[in-house]
Structure formats: structure tokens, C-alpha cells
Structure 1
Amino acid sequence: MNEPSSANSKGGFTILKRYFRRELLPLLADLRLAIVLLLAIALFSVSGTVIEQGETLAFYQANYPEDPALFGFLSWKVVLTLGLDHVYRTWWFLALLILFGSSLTACTFSRQLPTLKAARKWNYYTQPRQFEKLALSAEVDGQPANAALANLSQVLQTKRYLIFQDGNSLYARRGIAGRIGPIVVHASMLIVLVGSIIGSMTGFFAQEIVPSGQTFQIQNIFDAGPWAKSQIPKDWSVHVNRFWIDYTPEGAIDQFYSDLSVLDQQGNEVDRKTIHVNEPLRYHGVTLYQADWGIAGLRFHFNNSPKFDLPMVQLETGGKGRLWGAWIPTNPDLSDGVSVLARDLKGTVFVYDGGGSLTATIREGQSAEVNGVQLSIDEIIGSTGLQIKADPGIPVVYLGFGLLMIGVVMSYVSHAQIWALQEGDRLYLGGRSNRAQVTFEREILSVLETLQPIPHPENEEQGDKTSDRTPSPSMQ
């Protein structure tokens, strides 16, 4: 009872296999399809660079309004509906990568590997008429049997050809790396695609604003792949030992630094580094970049009181610079107080009374009398802005790009082939090359010059006749 079902399944598999070989495989291996896919991937990659990725809904509503829509159609609804806010993790972008990878794989197995196999397999020409199909061929005569063939073998060995000989037939090749190069290029592009997919599915991006002296764990995740949960560290944290800014003599920011310590679950320091822009901290596949800064708070005291830490908030200035402010009560019942403002971490605080008038300018370590009390500024507490990324696919992508450069160099190596046949005192010679045709033709001419007939003593007086036999290649 099961025999018809088994036969039907085998027949269906055979039909499917035949369809794949005859229809689907040639379509995937088509160069035009690969070019279209590559252009589409490039286009959407550009859109992912131009359109900010992983921002909030309010950000897209503010920057991509419906009226007027950017370019007449690009509104925040279009951005979110098409997934342009996280292009590299959308199903359709990953589908493009997979389809392009399938095209490269099909081309490799249907074209590149057979070409390499044919290039590595030597064959001999046994008939003079076989040389007629070569673009570059010639005849040399006047030498004893097999003498020209032996001389040719020696000459080609000096030119780094690999020689194969069977009786009076010879085959030589050089530059097989030129045939391997395209395969390496295809393999490297596949590796890059795999690395990109791994990064998209398992990577994450986070931002943290941390005051100097505090410890944090990565929690503020802005963008993450569906399998990124395993990459977010839970067994270690980061302590900001100190944050500071170096200023130029003109007062502009020169560089800002964060002294960071990585702590294990017991609070022991397992790594430490001072980071700045373009010099991040890397630990267990997670990279912490110095990206921003701010003012977290103000440390002060009144007269001989203990020190107080007061948070400061960034004020809206309408694009006229960055400013942080706070209100400090000067009476225990909070009936009176002063406003303090700071623009940077240089240590200067501006004090304003209830009417908005500037009453004092105090630097760190100094004090001034306000509302009948002595206000002392101990420290302006800075906060470091960190961008935190994890992309497990980066090593794979780097490997792919390294192989890509090697494969491109290999592809420029010329693959040259030479055939020769000795019949009596006549030598038939021909060859072809996949590139550098002029250089190869000159090489063949130099080989022919070394194979010119050697005059015998009894024919020395007929030197003029020998010179008439100088070989020359024929373009067919």
C-alpha cells in the first residue's frame, strides 16, 4: 500500500530537483539579478545612514511631519511602517541579503568552480588542426625530433610555468590563482553577509548618562536585534571613577575623558581604562564610546554645614548653547532661595536672586554671601555620556573584508595556458590568457625567438635561407 505513495514522493522530488537545476539555479546565477540585488542593498543601506536609526516616536514625529512630508511622501508614519527607523533589522532587508547570498552561492557553484576545475585539468593537443582555434599560434621547424619540445619545456620552466608532457605533446599553465581569486571574492562577500546578519540579529545599541562616581549596568537600550538579549551583560557593571574635560586656552572644549572600571558581580575591578573620543573601552564583546557630557549636579555647603549634593537639569535655551540650572533654598522653611546656573565644568557658578538679578559669581572652592548666608561651591559634578554597542558579527565582517582584498588581488593574476605538439622536425605552439593579452603575446614571441632553428654545419652557407624561416605568431 505504501509503494505508490513512495513512488509519488520520489517523482515529486525528481521534478523539484529538475526544476531547481533548469529554472531556479540559472536565475539565481544570473549576473543581472546579482547587480539589481546589490543596487537595492546599497540603496536601502544609504537610507539607513540618512534616516536616524533607533530614535523615539516623538523624534520621528518632530523631524518627519505629515504636513509637509519630506519629498512629498516621507512622513513619520511611512518611516515606521516600512521599518526605516531600523533598516538593517527589517525582514525585507535581511531577505535581500539572503537572496543576494543565494545568488553568489549559485554563481560560485555553477560557474566559478567548473571554471577552476577546467583550469586545473590539463589536456593535450594531438592534432595540428587543434591549434587553429587558438587566437595566438605559430609553427617552428628545422630542429631534430623532440629537440624543440625539450627546449620549450626548459624555457617555460624559467618563466614559472607548470609543465605537463605526454610523448610529443606538452601543456603548460601559470597563474591558477587568477581562477581561484573570483571564488575567494564570492566566499568573502558571503562571509560579510553572514557577519551582517549576525550583527543585525544579535547586536544592540544603548546610551547612558552617568554622573561621576556612580556605578551602572547597561539598561537604556535604544535598538536591539531579536536575539540580542544574550549579549546584554548581566554579570558585570561599570563604575565611573572620574569624568573631566580639557579646555583650550581660548576656552573651547579640547577633549573629554572618562576613567571607567569594569566590576564583576562581587564588585571587584576586572578591567580599567580612561576613554575619550575615538578611544573606547572594549570588554567581552561590548564597546563603550565617549560620546557626550553633561552636568549632573552641584556639591555645596552653607557656613559650616555638611556638604549637600543637588541635581542640576539642562535648561531649554533655544539653540543658544548648553545651560544647567538648579534652585538652592537659603532658609530652612524653603521660603527663600537663589537660582544657580552653570555652562560647563570649568568651575564657575552664576547665582541669581528671586528677581532674576545676578548677585554673585562663585568658582569651585570659593564662597560668597547670599541672602545672609555664606554659600560655598565645593564641586560641579559632571556626567559622562556613553554610547554602548555590541555587534558579534564584526569579527566575521572583518574576516570577510580581509579575504575580499586578497581575492581581488588574486583576480588580477593572469591565467595563461600554452599547448605544444612536436611532429617530426615541426613544432606547433599556441596559447591563450584571460587578461594582459599584449603582455602574453610578447611572452610568446620571446619564447619563439629562443626556439628559432639552429643551423647545421653543412648548411652554414645557407644562413640566408634559415633566416627566412623565422617563426611568427598568427592571429586567427
Structure 2
Amino acid sequence: MAPSEAPQPTFWDGVRDYFRQDLLPLLADLRLAIVLLLAIAAFSISGTVIEQGQTLEFYQTNYSQDPALFGFLSWKVILTLGLDHVYRTWWFLALLIVFGASLTACTFTRQFPALGAAQKWKYYTQPRQFQKLALSAELAETDLASLGNRLSQKRYRVFQDGNQLYGRKGIVGRIGPIVVHASMLLILVGAILGAMTGFFAQEIVPSGETFQIRNIFDAGPWAEAQIPKDWSVRVNRFWIDYSPEGNIDQFYSDLSVLDRTGNEIDRKTIFVNQPLRHKGVTLYQADWGVAAVQVKLNNSPVLQLPMQQLENDGPRFWGTWLPTKPDMSEGVTLLASDLQGSVLIYDNAGQLISTVRKGMVAEVNGVRLSLVDVVGSTGLQIKADPGIPLVYGGFGLLMLGVIMSYVSHSQVWALAQEGTVYVGGRTNRAQVAFERELLSLLEAVSADSNEAKLAEASVS
């Protein structure tokens, strides 16, 4: 009968062996995790320094090729490497995924085994075993029960079997690193989810107007589902509070969220650092402007003229041109710098004719010009990031895990043999504090023993 042949390894056996013997140790290597973390930090800093999600003209203006910033950073380099949207590039997401794989590998190959080893214990049965401990002592005529009581008072969990005793505390310190790794994985998942499904938009909306979110500057490849299509927002009113000196104190927007039929389903007055949140979308008060000016010429109906912001390096001004004759042969330029109701009137030669405030009348080119109102517009930043709850939860869990990691895992063994009690212990951190605790505990046990002897002597 021919001897049976050994089974030949299959392709999947080779893959499994490669994963266990080569890939898993590489991913669990602390040096790889440090390199990945530094790379993620460096590219995150670049994403903070370099403006994200801007137009091509912006990068061409601010990052010219000659001379290039630092000798190499030009707009072509930024666009080629994706530094204008760092957090959504394939290579940044790949760094996050590999770093997450490294954390997972380290957790299963190191942290879980360390926790399992900490939960497994055995009694010491030979005096020579205590010589291997960092701290050990020998006590004469000491009761193990007294030692156990003292350990319990120090919040140790005590196990005793005849002349053998074991106590431990701080097992949570072994769980802390696992919680830290889990929290970092949660943060990574939240960051990837936000990068893939989040979006950022800006809207400039005049008072009284209703809008849907359309002016999107930056969005992930799967962000379409997050962009609201079944509700819109109405700017009921926009206004600015000014200080007595005439400076802007705060600006406000009274916003209403409307469903498809125009019914109000949510409403809030927002200002800086007090946004409106609705169905995962957050609307921030970010800017303001002058949208239009309302005037009357003689007894005409109210005319609303849109105003555009002028390009200048000084204070912001908004302007429009108002014809004063039907054939548009003559007209005046109206300028406004704020919403306090003051408008400057210039003729075609650029000369200042008059300054009017809300409700005032000025004679220009033979007509009476009445200023009815200056209409403001609110500047809103709109964001949606479904990963934020995961990121915030991860940071909260990270703080908890760090606190847990600072707890020392301390162990104490004792063995009573031939009238001598051998005591020893070790800890994974705070060695000096543990030595002081154990020495004070031994002194207390010795004192208990002496008191017991005195009590027996007095009875006899």
C-alpha cells in the first residue's frame, strides 16, 4: 500500500501564510504607524495652510509659477498633487486606510494578547519565584487573611487558596490602549465618511428671497445624497447692529426652512457662532453685503436697483447707476458702504452731488430723488459633514482611553510556608508609587500581627 502523500498547499494557503507571516507583522510595526501618522499630520497642515476648494484663478493669482513659493510650490503643483482638496485625494484617503489597518493589526497582535495575559494569573508556589519580582519581602508570623484584608482596602481584587494569595487592581489600564486604538479608528472612519459624502457651499441672498443650495464649492464624490432637494431656505430679514461709534457689532439673519409646498418647518435667527442646523446641514452666518437700493423719482413707483460691490483695496462700497432721463442720456451713480441708510450720489463727471439718508429727498438733474431703503444681503456658509458625529465621538472616546491608560495594573503575590510569608509585587507604571503603597501595606500587616500577639498575651 503506497504511503499517503502530503496535501499540496493551495493558492489561498499561500495568501494566508503571507498575511500572517509578512504583512501582519509589517502593519503592526510601531515604526510604520509613526511614519504614517507624521505623513498624515504633514498633509493635514498643508491642507490648513493652502486654501481649499478655491477657483483656478485664485491659485494662479496667489501661487504664481515665477517665482514659485519656496522655489517649487506653484499653482500647477498644487492642482497636479490635489493640494487644493487634500482631504479628498486618493493618496490622503489611502494613508488613512493604511494607518487604520496598522492600528487594527497592532490591536489584535499586541493589545488584545496583553489584555489576555493580564487576565490570566496563577499562584506562586515556590519562594524562589518571588526573587524574580521587582519588589519582594519576607515576613515572619504574618496572617494571610490580614494581608488580604489590607489589599481589599486598597481596592485590590483578592484571590486566596490555602497558603497562597494573589491580588490585582487596575486591569482597566490594560483596556485603555485598546480604547485609544478604537477611538482613533472611529476618527479615521468619520474623516473618510466626511471627505466622501460632505459638501461646502456659499450663498449671498438678499432679504426676503428664497433659495436652494446650489452654489457648491467643494463636495465629495458621494455628496449628492446630502445636498437637500426637498427643502429650501427663506431669508425673512437681514440686519446689522452697529456700535455707537458706527462700527459693526453683529449681523443677523432670520431664516426659515420651507418644505416643497412652502410651509415653514424650521426657523431660527442666526449670527456668528450660532448657526441653523437642519437635517445634517449647517448654515453659518459668514458675511454680508448690499443687495439693492430702493428709490423714487418724483412721483414714480418704488424702483429697486441691484448694487454690485466695487473692486478696491480700501473700504467696501456697493454701487449702481440710475438714469434720470427716459433716453438714459443723464444719470447719477449711487454708492453705499453699509446698511445704516446713507447713500452717496455722484454725477457723470464723478463729482459728489449729495448725500441722502433713508426718507430724505435730493434734487438731481432736475428731478426729485427719494431714498426709500437700502436692502442688505446675507452671506451664508453651508456645510454638511456626516462624519462629524463619529469624529466627535472618537475624540471623546480618545480622552477616556488616555485616562484609562494612566491607571497602573498592579499585582501582588503571597505565599505562607514554614512560618514565613513571602510577599512580592509588580506594576506596569508608577513604580515608585507602587513601592510606597506596598511598603506601607506590609507595615500595616506587621502592625496587625503585633497587635494580635499583644491581644493573645493579655488574654493568657
TM-score (normalised: structure 1): 0.92
Verify: 1:311 aligned to 2:306, yes or no: yes
Verify: 1:387 aligned to 2:381, yes or no: yes
SS in 2 for 1:384: strand
Verify: 1:21 aligned to 2:16, yes or no: no
SS in 2 for 1:430: strand
Q: CA RMSD in A?
A: 1.6
Aligned residue number for residue 100 of structure 1: 99
The CA deviation string for residues 211-236 of structure 1, in whole angstroms up to 9 with x for no partner, is 11100000000000000000000000
Give the C-alpha shift of residue 450 in structure 1.
Answer: 2.8
Verify: 1:192 aligned to 2:191, yes or no: no
Aligned residue number for residue 251 of structure 1: 246
Aligned residue number for residue 469 of structure 1: none
Aligned residue number for residue 155 of structure 1: 150
* Aligned residues of 1:157 and 1:163 also touching (Cα < 8 A): yes
**1:297-336 alignment runs, 5 A limit:** 297-317=292-312, 319-336=313-330
Aligned residue number for residue 73 of structure 1: 72
Code of the aligned partner of 2:202: Q
SS in 2 for 1:81: helix
Percent of residue pairs bearing the same amino acid type? 70
Distance in 2 of aligned mates of 1:399 and 1:341: 50
Distance in 1 of aligned mates of 2:242 and 2:205: 21
Code of the aligned partner of 2:252: Y
SS in 2 for 1:451: helix
* Aligned residues of 1:214 and 1:240 also touching (Cα < 8 A): yes
SS in 2 for 1:344: coil
* Aligned residues of 1:238 and 1:263 also touching (Cα < 8 A): yes
Aligned residue number for residue 137 of structure 2: 138
Verify: 1:262 aligned to 2:262, yes or no: no
Distance in 2 of aligned mates of 1:165 and 1:92: 56
Aligned residue number for residue 430 of structure 2: 436
Aligned residue number for residue 204 of structure 2: 209
Distance in 2 of aligned mates of 1:194 and 1:416: 35
Code of the aligned partner of 1:15: G
Code of the aligned partner of 2:125: T
Distance in 2 of aligned mates of 1:128 and 1:81: 69
SS in 1 for 2:253: strand
Distance in 2 of aligned mates of 1:11 and 1:166: 51
Distance in 2 of aligned mates of 1:449 and 1:352: 95
Give the C-alpha shift of residue 256 in structure 1.
Answer: 0.9
Verify: 1:176 aligned to 2:171, yes or no: yes
Aligned residue number for residue 465 of structure 1: none
Code of the aligned partner of 2:69: L
Give the C-alpha shift of residue 91 in structure 1.
Answer: 0.4
Verify: 1:109 aligned to 2:103, yes or no: no
The CA deviation string for residues 391-446 of structure 1, in whole angstroms up to 9 with x for no partner, is 00000001001101111111111110011111131111110011111111111112
Aligned residue number for residue 339 of structure 1: 333
The CA deviation string for residues 173-227 of structure 1, in whole angstroms up to 9 with x for no partner, is 0011111111111100110010000000000000001111100000000000000
Aligned residue number for residue 352 of structure 2: 358
Aligned residue number for residue 3 of structure 2: none
Aligned residue number for residue 463 of structure 1: none
Q: 1:356 to 1:451 in 2, by over 3 A?
A: closer
Aligned residue number for residue 293 of structure 1: 288
Distance in 2 of aligned mates of 1:422 and 1:25: 45
Aligned residue number for residue 3 of structure 1: none
SS in 1 for 2:10: helix
Moved more, 75-84 or 156-165: 156-165
Code of the aligned partner of 1:136: L
* Aligned residues of 1:300 and 1:375 also touching (Cα < 8 A): yes
The CA deviation string for residues 77-100 of structure 1, in whole angstroms up to 9 with x for no partner, is 000000000000000000111111
Distance in 2 of aligned mates of 1:244 and 1:158: 65
Distance in 2 of aligned mates of 1:209 and 1:406: 42
Give the C-alpha shift of residue 239 in structure 1.
Answer: 0.3
Runs of 4 or more consecutive aligned structure 1 residues displaced over 6 Å after TM superposition: none
Give the C-alpha shift of residue 109 in structure 1.
Answer: 0.6
* Aligned residues of 2:134 and 2:425 also touching (Cα < 8 A): yes
Aligned residue number for residue 37 of structure 2: 38
Aligned residue number for residue 117 of structure 2: 118
Distance in 2 of aligned mates of 1:313 and 1:443: 75
SS in 1 for 2:23: helix
* Aligned residues of 1:299 and 1:377 also touching (Cα < 8 A): yes
The CA deviation string for residues 6-61 of structure 1, in whole angstroms up to 9 with x for no partner, is x76x6222222222122111111111111111111000000000000000000000
Give the C-alpha shift of residue 456 in structure 1.
Answer: 5.5
* Aligned residues of 2:286 and 2:380 also touching (Cα < 8 A): yes
The CA deviation string for residues 327-385 of structure 1, in whole angstroms up to 9 with x for no partner, is 11111121211111111111111111122211111111111111111111111111111
Distance in 2 of aligned mates of 1:222 and 1:177: 46
* Aligned residues of 2:206 and 2:375 also touching (Cα < 8 A): yes
SS in 2 for 1:244: strand
Distance in 2 of aligned mates of 1:401 and 1:407: 10
Aligned residue number for residue 464 of structure 1: none
Distance in 1 of aligned mates of 2:338 and 2:240: 9
Distance in 2 of aligned mates of 1:328 and 1:268: 37
Aligned residue number for residue 402 of structure 2: 408
Distance in 1 of aligned mates of 2:381 and 2:445: 70
Moved more, 299-308 or 48-57: 299-308
Distance in 1 of aligned mates of 2:347 and 2:63: 41
Code of the aligned partner of 2:145: A
* Aligned residues of 2:150 and 2:445 also touching (Cα < 8 A): no
TM-score (normalised: structure 2): 0.95
Aligned partner of 1:378 among 372, 375, 387: 372
SS in 1 for 2:158: strand
